[in-house]
Amino acid sequence: MSLRIFLSQLTPKRFELLRLASKGGRSIADLAAASHRDPSAVSKDVSRLSKLGLVKVDVVQNAGHGQKKIVTPLATTISINASIALG
C-alpha cells in the first residue's frame, strides 16, 4: 500500500479512535460514546483500522448480553517518514 493511500485511510475520526483505544482496550460502544459517534460508523472505522494493521479486535463474552468487540491498538506510536524527490 502506498503512503498516499495509507494516509488517506487514516482520517481524523479514525485517528481519534486510535487515541481513545490506546487508553486500554475498549469496546465499540465505549469508543462510540467517547467520540460522540454512531456505533455502526465506529464499527466500520474500526474494521478499516484493522485492515490497515493498526488495531486488533477481539470478540469477548458480554455477561448476559451476548458478545462485544474489544479494540486494542497494535502500536503505541505511529511514525511516518517520507522522502520526496524535487525535480
pLDDT, tens only, 30-82: 999 999 999 999 999 999 999 999 999 999 988 888 899 999 999 877 777 77
Judge whether 63 lies within some domain: yes
Domain CATH code at residue 60: 1.10.10.10
User: How far lies 37's CA from each of 17, 31, 67, in Å?
Assistant: 10, 8, 20
**Domain that includes residue 59, residue range:** 3-73
Judge whether 31 lies within some domain: yes
CA distance 38 to 83: 38
pTM of the model: 0.82
The number of folded domains in the chain is 1
Judge whether 84 lies within some domain: no
Judge whether 45 lies within some domain: yes
